[in-house]
């Protein structure tokens, strides 16, 4: 028998960045518990190799609604389509985010003093303005309906400074590499976006919380993994499915009295 606290039958969820690895995991977990899941992403087609996600797409429990969250007009059109198909969403997972990719120009991953403004603009545009747009467009509809749950995904790098030593292997290899500031600034902003909206919408029945995650294993460079895991109390990176349980709790009826909170699932990283 399913637990009614975690039964999402006939609820509608919007997952941004839903074609990414974590986004697909969130979408599958919600669909498996009865939700209809709208994946909002700039990528329209499901990546090959994720059989569970593809099966949910084929069954109609998950559907793609392509949109760029930095474009409010495009986002409104996508959410209008979700609402027309399934009704006003009950759940919003603000998962979409970008960082400087591993193959970014060295200027993006160099010293703070020369960090390019255009890189900062691009990251804040998606990670902060995009999240604000989603809360305005989806959360506004939820508030008018008198119910809803929003989870904004943040990072340990929004709580603490990056440990630059774990990237030392790149400097030893001759690169002037530092984890850049843009991602940290953006994920820190998410924390107060949550607090602001939790109080703003509390009487409208919309709960807003943050889920703060540490690194998720994705075949990272062996030297990075070694340094990272030595610093991690649990001694390893997270598996992507380990982000699912905390997410499900925050959007479920089990968390009906939880709003404005930051649930930290980080393997103990921030306990040092």
Residues involved in catalysis: 183
Residue 149 corresponds to which tokens in the numbers above? 């749950």
Residue 161 Ramachandran class (φ > 0 left, ψ -120 to 50 alpha, else beta): beta
Q: Which residues contact 156 (CB under 8 A, 6 or more apart)?
A: 212, 213, 214, 215, 264, 266, 269, 270
Give me the sheet containing 91-94, strands edge to edge. Answer: 62-64, 36-40, 12-16, 91-94, 148-155, 206-213, 262-265
Q: What is d(CA 113, CA 107) in angstroms, rounded to the nearest whole number?
A: 10
**Backbone dihedral angles phi then psi of residue 65, each to the nearest 5 degrees:** -130, 85
Are the CB atoms for 213 and 153 separated by under 8 Å?
yes
Residues with Cβ < 8 Å from 19, sequence gap 6 or more? 39, 41, 43, 45, 46, 47, 64
């Amino acid at each position: 028998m399913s637990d009614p606290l975690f039964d999402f039958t006939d609820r509608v969820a919007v997952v941004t960045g839903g074609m990414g690895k974590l986004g697909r995991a969130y979408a599958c977990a919600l669909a498996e518990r009865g939700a209809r899941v709208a994946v909002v992403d700039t990528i329209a087609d499901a990546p090959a190799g994720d059989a569970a996600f593809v099966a949910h797409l084929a069954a109609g429990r998950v559907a793609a609604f392509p949109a760029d969250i930095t474009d409010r007009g495009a986002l409104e059109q996508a959410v209008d389509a979700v609402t027309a198909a399934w009704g006003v969403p009950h759940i919003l997972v603000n998962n979409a985010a970008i960082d400087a990719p591993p193959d970014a120009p060295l200027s993006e991953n160099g010293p703070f003093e020369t960090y390019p403004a255009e890189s900062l603009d691009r990251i804040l545009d998606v990670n902060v303005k995009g999240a604000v747009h989603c809360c305005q467009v989806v959360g506004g509809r939820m508030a008018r309906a008198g119910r809803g749950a929003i989870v904004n995904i943040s990072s340990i790098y929004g709580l603490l400074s990056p440990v630059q030593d774990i990237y030392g292997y790149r400097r030893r290899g001759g690169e002037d590499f530092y984890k850049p500031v843009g991602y940290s600034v953006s994920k820190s902003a998410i924390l107060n976006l949550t607090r602001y909206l939790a109080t703003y919408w509390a009487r409208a029945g919309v709960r807003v919380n943050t889920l703060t995650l540490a690194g998720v294993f994705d075949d990272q460079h062996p030297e990075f993994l070694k340094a990272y895991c030595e610093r991690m109390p649990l001694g390893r990176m997270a598996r992507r499915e380990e982000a699912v349980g905390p997410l499900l709790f925050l959007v479920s009826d089990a968390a009906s009295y939880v709003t404005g909170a930051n649930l930290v699932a980080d393997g103990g990283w921030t306990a040092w």
